[in-house]
């Protein structure tokens, strides 16, 4: 999931210290996670929804392969249910534009809105207008301030955050023979998605790998500073066995730092698919693995949750999609499992 530019605020977000003690994914207000596999629309219910003239608006935060995959998953599910997607927008990480997108979409009277709220505070008023018009709201990874389930929204759908961090730890440990020293580059912001993923990595290393020590830690809020941060970490710890990087954008900067230092030994594991990172991985470079979410499945589950609300069927408040570890050995399969598209030809060599 691309995170650059997200405006995340609010007292409901859980802090880093708390997150480090959690061994499973929880929602922004401590909700228990329900797997996406449990959020379905039966054939009988689908038959009842078809022909009712329901429509949907997909109001996204950005344009990316991730968003395209979520859109595809949602669109395919809606097609099965006879629900027409009447508008799809991208706010370009601009909270003001997202509010405008919501207001414009409401003029088309959609039955369902799927969206990632960029700013919980400023988006709350616009989404409240949708609630007042009885629109079924399903949110991706974030929640407008003051909204309560099930009165105000059908569900939040996101990644299995703990599993993403845990699988990253397992992959990095395997790549260095389960021993050595590692660096931990985490997202330096209060955002429960990245906080849980990052801390799950740290918790897993500390609890499951006694012969691996995290000897360097650095927070990052601006991905553009990743190379600078990595250079400083490597200056103090030139013999690091591996580095965890909070997501793929900053990982590209860390990879650049390793290359500039002539370092071909330190392994990188990061989260979220990226063509440059995957290309280094398949060429046997520094990147050992990428852990991704099943973005297409996120979209399918979001659409299902919205449709269930229209049919009067409640969905649990916090729903998570599986994580997948992508390596050089399964890059084609992993790309398809995550994004439901073929991996780039540069990566597969096709």
Give percent of the chain with pLDDT exceeding 70: 93
In sequence order, the 6+-apart residues with CB closer than 8 A to the CB of 11 are none
Q: Is the pLDDT score of 85 beyond 90? A: yes
- Domain span at residue 305 reads 19-160+295-321
pLDDT of residue 98: 92
pLDDT of residue 320: 97
Is there a single domain that holds both residue 118 and residue 190?
Answer: no
Domain count, the chain: 2
User: In the block, which residue shows the tokens 């649990």?
Assistant: 316
Is there a single domain that holds both residue 62 and residue 154?
Answer: yes
For 166-224, the DSSP string reads HHHHHHHHHHTTT-EEEEEEEE-S--HHHHHHHHHHHHHHHHH-TTEEEEEEEEES-GG
Q: Looking at residue 307, which CATH number applies to its domain?
A: 3.40.50.2300
Is 124 inside a domain boundary? yes
Determine the angle formed by the axes of helices 161-175 and 192-208, rounding to 10 degrees: 40
Is 222 inside a domain boundary? yes
Q: Is the pLDDT score of 258 beyond 70? A: yes
Hey, what are 196's tokens? 């849980």
Strands 155-159, 212-220: pairing kind: unpaired
Is there a single domain that holds both residue 199 and residue 335?
Answer: yes
Is there a single domain that holds both residue 193 and residue 332?
Answer: yes
pLDDT of residue 62: 87
Is there a single domain that holds both residue 108 and residue 130?
Answer: yes
Is 13 inside a domain boundary? no
Phi and psi at residue 274, to the nearest 5° = -150, 130
Instruction: Tell me the C-alpha distance between 337 and 343, whole Å.
Output: 10
pLDDT in tens, 103-159: 999 999 999 999 999 888 888 988 999 999 999 999 999 999 999 999 999 999 999
Is 93 inside a domain boundary? yes
What is the rounded average pLDDT for all residues in the chain? 92
- Which H/E stretch holds residue 74? helix 65-81
Instruction: Sheet containing 323-326: give its strands across.
Output: 212-220, 180-187, 242-245, 267-271, 287-293, 323-326
CA 36 to chain centre: 14
Is there a single domain that holds both residue 126 and residue 209?
Answer: no
In sequence order, the 6+-apart residues with CB closer than 8 A to the CB of 187 are 3, 194, 195, 198, 219, 220, 221, 246, 247
pLDDT in tens, 6-37: 443 332 333 333 344 457 899 888 899 999 99
pLDDT of residue 22: 55
Q: Is the pLDDT score of 3 beyond 60? A: no
Distances (CA, A) of 70 to 32, 63, 248, 260: 22, 11, 18, 36
Is 11 inside a domain boundary? no
* Mean pLDDT, residues 46-63 taken together: 94
Q: How confident is the model at residue 72 (pLDDT cuts 50, 70, 90)?
A: very high
Give the 3-state secondary structure of residue 8. coil
Work out the end-to-end distance of the chain between its first and last CA atoms, rounded to an integer number of angstroms. Answer: 26
Is 141 inside a domain boundary? yes
* Mean pLDDT, residues 313-341 taken together: 97
Count CA atoms within 13 Å of residue 299 on its CB side: 27
- Which H/E stretch holds residue 114? strand 112-115
pLDDT of residue 123: 85
Instruction: Tell me the C-alpha distance between 78 and 311, whole Å.
Output: 14
In sequence order, the 6+-apart residues with CB closer than 8 A to the CB of 81 are 41, 46, 49, 50, 54, 303, 307
Is there a single domain that holds both residue 342 and residue 203?
Answer: yes
Is there a single domain that holds both residue 136 and residue 232?
Answer: no
Is there a single domain that holds both residue 120 and residue 136?
Answer: yes
Is there a single domain that holds both residue 200 and residue 342?
Answer: yes
Distances (CA, A) of 225 to 54, 138, 239: 46, 34, 21
Is 4 inside a domain boundary? no
CA 160 to chain centre: 9
Is 12 inside a domain boundary? no
Is there a single domain that holds both residue 114 and residue 190?
Answer: no
Q: Looking at the DSSP assignment, which residues form a beta bridge with residue 84?
A: 55
pLDDT in tens, 211-240: 999 999 999 999 999 999 999 999 999 999
Give percent of the chain with pLDDT exceeding 90: 85
Is there a single domain that holds both residue 340 and residue 199?
Answer: yes
Helices (H) and strands (E) in the chain, counts: 13, 13
């Amino acid at each position: 999931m691309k995170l650059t530019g997200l405006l995340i605020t609010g007292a409901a977000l859980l802090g880093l210290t708390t997150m480090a003690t959690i061994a499973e994914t929880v929602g922004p207000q401590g909700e228990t996670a329900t797997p996406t596999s449990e959020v379905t629309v039966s054939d009988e219910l689908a038959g009842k929804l078809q022909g009712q003239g329901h429509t949907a608006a997909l109001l996204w935060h950005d344009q990316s392969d991730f968003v395209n995959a979520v859109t595809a998953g949602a669109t395919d599910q809606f097609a099965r249910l006879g629900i027409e997607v009447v508008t799809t927008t991208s706010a370009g990480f601009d909270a003001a534009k997202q509010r405008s997108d919501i207001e414009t979409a409401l003029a088309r009277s959609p039955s369902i809105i799927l969206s990632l709220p960029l700013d919980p505070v400023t988006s709350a008023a616009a989404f409240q207008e949708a609630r007042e018009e009885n629109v079924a709201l399903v949110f991706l990874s974030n929640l407008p301030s003051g909204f309560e389930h099930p009165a105000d929204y059908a569900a939040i759908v996101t990644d299995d955050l703990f599993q993403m961090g845990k699988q990253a730890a397992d992959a990095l440990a395997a790549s260095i023979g389960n021993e050595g020293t590692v660096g931990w580059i985490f997202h330096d912001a209060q955002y429960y998605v990245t906080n849980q993923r990052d801390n799950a990595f740290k918790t897993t290393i500390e609890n499951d790998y006694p012969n691996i020590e995290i000897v360097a830690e650095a927070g990052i809020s601006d991905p553009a500073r990743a190379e600078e941060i990595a250079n400083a970490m490597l200056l103090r710890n030139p013999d690091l066995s591996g580095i965890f990087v909070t997501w793929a954008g900053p990982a590209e900067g860390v990879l650049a730092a390793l290359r500039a230092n002539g370092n071909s030994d330190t392994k990188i594991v990061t989260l979220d698919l990226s063509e440059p990172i995957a290309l280094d991985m398949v060429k046997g470079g520094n990147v050992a693995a990428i852990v991704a979410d099943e973005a297409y499945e996120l979209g399918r589950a979001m659409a299902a949750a919205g449709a269930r609300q229209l049919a009067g069927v409640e969905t649990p408040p916090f729903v998570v999609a599986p994580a997948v570890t992508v390596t050089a050995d399964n890059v084609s399969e992993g790309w398809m499992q995550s994004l439901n598209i073929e991996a780039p030809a540069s990566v597969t060599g096709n």
